[in-house]
Structure 1
Amino acid sequence: MIDDPSEETHPDVEDTAPRLPAVHDPAVYWDSLPIVRPNTETLERNHIITATRSHPAHAAFDMLRTRLMQALADQGWTRVAITGPTRGCGSSFVTTNLAFSVARLESARSVVLDLNLRAPALHGLMGLPAEHAMADYLQGALAPEEFLLRSHANLAFGLNNTPANNAAELFQDTMTSDVLDELQDLLCPHLMLFDLPPALEHDDVLAFLPNVDGVLVVAGAGESTAEDVTKVEQMLSEVKPLLGVMLNRAEGKLSF
């Protein structure tokens, strides 16, 4: 007797969502992703203020969200890299707050990947489990439904539990481009955010830029010199459009 293939299930998602349809439907695919809940205390401790909007500074991220989404829509773009000149500028902080702000737009689907492979941080900012290595996903060893976690109906994260020092080489592998294209085709996100490492420390950011439409630069007040910011602006704008430069922690606010 031949087994009925319709009875096959995927061990990672069968208890949390319906099986993937034979005919691709992005909405059903989103529903197939495992659901996780960020830790409220961890979010508060790490100043992820857009999760609750309890702090007035959330308005700055909402402003950034609206300006960014309008700019992307005008160009037909979806992929945004977020980086800073050096360590401590807060690119992961900005990425996470921006992601939660965009999630309030119910019609906008967003995917966020932690691509600071040398020092992954997104899972720690939210108190979420990171169950797989980003390197394995980018090399095609994991399917999106095995790797991604959904915190909202329209927001999914790809987290990283294993630091890697070969980020630049991995980013330039054609498999990375193929994996990202597959992700975009399957989930049809309106926004893809890539949290990248500092731009001036290694060539990781330059290696990844061919995969994005534009770049947001986060400068840290007290961390970034004017020379560093100028150097990053010149370096990145030669490769991809610069979507903005933000000053993080300027009197407790986000400046543009």
Structure 2
Amino acid sequence: MERIKLAIEKAKAAEGDSGWSGASQLHDANDPEASAKGSTRREGASADLGSMRYLQTTVVSLDAAHLESHRVISHQKSHPDSWAFDVLRTQVLQKMDENGWRTLAVTSPSVESGKTVVSINLAISIAQLTNRTSLLVDFDLRRPSVARSLGLDRPLSLNDYLSDRVDLGEALVNPGIERFVVLPTNQPVTGASEVLSSSKVGNLIGDLRERYADRIVIFDLPPVLAADDVMTVLPRIDCVLMVVGSGVSTQSEVEEAMTRLSKANLLGVVLNKDEVPAQNAYY
């Protein structure tokens, strides 16, 4: 209780110094300490983002059957395949920590490779670490599918933030999993490449990266060969993981995708949809 009182007093003092005004109490579900202890906190608007404010993150409950039908299983430690995403998580985090990276893009050479499934399961697996939080952003603006895969049915999303209809905090959602927050996209965005190259998106990426030191931000991007969206936004993201669906992409498609990613920090390639029985050899 004493820590909570001190935090409130500190927040009031900060408000007096900065002149910021807004909601009197804020609870960010992506802050593990605030989530665990019920503390309140204030977030001033970033100098680069003008009036952006983080409001209380909406918490929703997901349907377990829907998740499993869409191959979202990393939250089930009893599931025989969940270990694969834990292995991927450990290897990804070790490499990111070595370089001080906090933002990760997930893409694929072509469609139907399973990049969104990998993005979701990896983000959930990271959030299960008590010293980490994860934020999953649907940046596949032409064919967004994160909300559909999770079974999220909310009226507000990244679309509304990009159109200046809501503050960012109103578009964020905690899908009932501790330390995990999602920024979904509900509808395809016209001029996706131009939007991803805009200063608004650049400021958004920077703010999401810097706001919490323990947070890993995962961006679900479109396939590399689908358009120039990936090449447009990758310079703003620390590193990238490529998902290759077994039997989905041709060798020439994989090679071309690797060429287009040659200037990015490529962590590695995940082989997905492999029909060979898994025996602790995910890659």
Amino acid at match of 2:67: L
SS of 1:250's equivalent?
coil
Task: Using the TM superposition, give the Cα deviation of residue 143 of structure 1 relative to its aligned residue in structure 2, in angstroms.
Answer: 2.2
92, 100, 106: which is aligned to 2:116? Answer: 92
Identity in percent: 30
**Aligned position for 1:106:** 130
Q: 1:117-137 CA deviation, whole Å, 9 max, x = no partner?
A: 111111111111242342442
Amino acid at match of 1:114: D
Unaligned runs of 5+ in 2: 1-18, 28-34, 46-52
SS of 1:182's equivalent?
helix
**Aligned position for 1:77:** 101
Q: 1:40-91 CA deviation, whole Å, 9 max, x = no partner?
A: 1111111111121332221111100000111111100011100111110000
**Aligned position for 1:255:** 282
1:154 aligned to 2:175? no
TM-score (norm 2): 0.78
Which region of structure 1 is more displaced relative to structure 2, 69-78 or 171-180? 171-180
| Paired residues, number | 246
Unaligned runs of 5+ in 1: none
CA distance in 2, matches of 1:241, 1:221: 23
Which region of structure 1 is more displaced relative to structure 2, 123-132 or 29-38? 29-38
Which region of structure 1 is more displaced relative to structure 2, 129-138 or 201-210? 129-138
Which has the greater radius of gyration? 2
SS of 1:52's equivalent?
coil
CA distance in 2, matches of 1:187, 1:146: 18
1:59 aligned to 2:79? no
**Aligned position for 2:198:** 173
Amino acid at match of 2:147: H
CA distance in 1, matches of 2:216, 2:23: 29
RMSD: 3.0
CA distance in 2, matches of 1:250, 1:61: 14
TM-score (norm 1): 0.85
SS of 1:82's equivalent?
strand
> Residues 15-34 of structure 1 correspond to what in structure 2 (within 5 A)?
20-21=41-42, 32-34=56-58
**Aligned position for 1:115:** 139
CA distance in 2, matches of 1:23, 1:123: 29
1:195 aligned to 2:216? no
